[in-house]
Amino acid sequence: KITNQGYNFDPAYIERNGQKEIYFIGNHNGYTSVFQMKYDPETQEYVKPKVIIEGEREAEFEAFHLLENSLDVSYSGEIAFVTKSLNTDVIHIYSLENEKITTTLRFDELITLKSPSFSKDGSLLIFSGMDRKGYSDLFTYKFGTKVLTRLTNDYYEDIDPIFANDSKIIFSSDRTAGDYQQTYNLFEYDFNTKEISYLTYINANLSTPKINPTGEVLYFTSDYDGTYNIWKMKYGSSDDSKIEQVTKFVTSVYGFSFVNNNTIITSAFEKFSFQFYKFDLSKTNLPKPNVLINDFILARSKWNAPRISASSQSERLVYENEYALDYAVGQLITDPVYGSRGGAVLTLSDLLGDDRYLFYFYNTAEVQSEILKNFNVAMTRINLKERTNYGYGVFHYAGRRYDIRESNEYFYERVYGGFFELYYPFSSFQRLEAGVSIANSDKELIGNLITRKSLLITNSLSFVHDNSIWAPSGPIDGSRFRILLGYTSDVKFSNVNYYSFIVDYRKYFRLGLRSAIATRAALFVNNGKEARRYFAGGSWDLRGWPRWSIRGEKLWLSSVELRFPLVDQLNIKFPFFGLSFFNIRGAVFADAGSAWDNKYKETIGSVGFGIRINLLGALTFRYDIGKKIEKNFSQFQPELFYQFFFGWDF
């Protein structure tokens, strides 16, 4: 065993500049990437792999095909690997000498690509590609002339091609006919005659062919005994009808690469992970290895898909979406139009996740008689079925607000209306959002008549980036940010007219597999006639400070938080039942910020620590203890604060 963490696939061994190296696709921290690992056959010491291409953080490397054959290394020191990029797969060529991507191959007519393999001189690349008809065929790309050539064009699936020599390739295909129809056997394609011939004919599925370094023996994987193990046969000789089993693992083999004639590096499943193993082919010594004989007489002619004859008719199928609860969470939202508000959020989605409903509930009543008057609710539907997604909804917000100029009095405000939004994703990580809302807003001083009526229309445009990955209580790696520009005006009474600018950036620095430092920096600006004030305080920004206590048309926030595992499992046994809590996490934090209208006042903040408990993957409870800092960070307040909340970490 030569690795001990994460998921490791597609090993490719190469000797370069006196160094023995293995290049592979793996996932060690939540992001799938291309790794390099030094290989020393004389030692059993683990060598930590080095990331050379970090994937799944930007559109260029949006997704790797982790469980498929998708990487190869040429003798000249170039890596070919496949990623999803925008709406199709692409093949990247990475130069080990220059340490950069030199070529990216994108073919408009091909959607899915896999199994790239270099010719011996590195001038040709062969791979399997699926076109828009759904055909999976073989293609070659010549680097010198930049010419793409299609070798097969039929409805058989052709995969895992390799160069046997300058004139022939070997590949796996379900074009097997006769008694073993539609099983995946190995075939040979001749560049000179353009003919395809059988290499194997057995009742099993064969894949990932590899020829040993001296070119005498063909190795491949087969599921003959129920799991994919390594088999072999002689290649290029008259005695090539016998197939012999080499390994007999309980779990399957997932790709392999030759170090020399007798040694391979292979990926296998053990203890819920996929690790690399060094395997000596000369020491298999199976008690009774399976030996099969190719009987090509049984192959007969190729098979054809049966034609389906039916009368043409159309019928509309009525489909009813079935919705399930995704999560429930406590949340505080800051918006240029409706200010700051908090409460509980529930989300429902259908089976495919492309039709979602969000429900927001909150009440600001301080006595029982005000419950109905201060009830806040919002309902939103988001549809993700098309490239351009959309959302719409209605809302009603009511309650006491602190936004009086030069006064600490509060007023009552009731806002109700609707909105419509468009979301255009550039990739899985970035999108553009545009929205318009219309809202009726009535303000009144407590005990007085309505002092301001307005009909507000707001237009906003946002750019959103998010490539973060999450731990049980919140993000642990990657980055997220939002930049928003908005304009709000009272189209009926001209009482309100202001613009808004928001930037909120969050970055997560991974310290280990389950620990990280999380940082946040945010700026909120409203400017104009009766501009809405922003609020801070509570559990989501300046922790420890009372809710609504920090307010202003301009507001900035920053936070640094160390997140780490505290208790993996806690069991509590009662006489009649027991409780188990998993993934209890700890946090040490420091917050800073301020809010003002025209003149900057002071910088305040807080420091402390807390615990986070995730329940059923849907609810996270947070409990924080700390001290507040005031007077431009020069003085601690004497008392500790204690704060309980539920919701994800920022």
For the segment 9-24, what is each residue's pLDDT rounded down to a tens digit?
999 999 988 889 999 9
* Chain segment 146-156, per-residue pLDDT in tens: 999 999 999 89
Residue 112, pLDDT > 50, answer yes
- The pLDDT assigned to 249 comes to 85
pLDDT of residue 305: 78
pLDDT tens-digit profile of 190-202?
999 999 999 999 9
State the average pLDDT for the chain.
88
315-346 burial code (b ≥16 CB/10 A, e <16) = eeeeeeeeeeebebebbbebbbbbbbbbbebe
Q: Which residues pair with 517 in a beta bridge?
A: 509, 562
8 Å CB contact between 281 and 289: no
Q: Would you say 139 and 120 are in contact if contact means Cβ atoms under 8 Å apart?
A: no
Instruction: Give residue-wise pLDDT tens across range 588-633.
Output: 999 999 999 989 989 999 999 999 998 877 778 899 999 999 988 8
- Amino acid sitting at position 344: A
Name 372's Cβ contacts closer than 8 Å, sequence gap at least 6.
Answer: none
Tokens of 110: 């091909």
Residue with tokens 């928003």: 484
> Tokens 């809010």 correspond to what residue?
595
More confident residue, 474 or 372: 474
The one-letter amino acid at 579: L
3-state helix, strand, coil in the chain (%, to 5): 0, 60, 40
Residues making up the chain, counted from first to last:
650
* Burial of 237 from C-beta contacts in 10 A (0-12 / 13-18 / 19+): exposed
pLDDT of residue 86: 86
Q: Residues 6 or more apart from 97 whose CB is under 8 A from it?
A: 77
- Give percent above pLDDT 90 in the chain: 54
How far apart CA 38 and CA 27 sit, in angstroms, is: 17
10 Å Cβ neighbour count for 409? 9
Written as one letter, the residue type at 646 is F
Whether the pTM exceeds 0.75: the reply is yes
Task: Output the pLDDT for position 367.
Answer: 62
Which pLDDT band holds residue 494 (cuts at 50, 70, 90)? confident
For residue 331, the model assigns a pLDDT of: 57
**Residue 185 pLDDT:** 93
> What amino acid is encoded at 433 in this protein?
E
- The span from the CA of 325 to the CA of 617, in Å, is 12
**239, pLDDT greater than 80:** no
**Percentage of the chain modeled with pLDDT above 70:** 93
Cα of 257 vs its chain's centroid, Å: 28
71 CA to centre of own chain: 20
- Work out the pLDDT band at 334, boundaries 50, 70, 90: low
**Residue 271 has which token pair?**
């203890």
Taking the C-alpha atoms of residue 442 and residue 454, their distance in angstroms, rounded to an integer, is: 7
Annotate 337-394 with three-state secondary structure.
CCEEEEEEEEEEECCCCCEEEEEEEEECCCCHHHCCCCEEEEEEEEECCCCCEEEEEE
Q: What is the 3-state secondary structure (H, E, C) of 438-460?
A: EEEEEEEECCCCEEEEEEEEEEE
pLDDT average, residue stretch 563-592: 89
Write down the pLDDT at residue 488. Answer: 95
pLDDT at residue 340 above 70? no
Q: Say how far apart CA 500 and CA 337 lie, in whole Å.
A: 9
Per-residue confidence band for 170, with pLDDT thresholds at 50, 70 and 90: very high
Give all domains of the chain, ordered by start, each with its CATH number. Answer: 324-646 (2.40.160.50)
Dihedral-angle region of residue 241 (phi above 0 means left; psi in -120 to 50 means alpha; beta otherwise):
alpha
pLDDT at residue 237 greater than cutoff 90: no
Model pLDDT, residue 371:
66
> Band of the pLDDT at 406, cuts 50, 70, 90?
very low
Quick: pLDDT tens for 49-104.
999 999 999 999 999 988 888 899 999 999 999 999 988 999 999 999 999 999 99
Q: List all residues 6 or more positions away from 424 whose beta carbon is below 8 Å from its beta carbon.
A: 387, 388, 389, 431, 432, 433
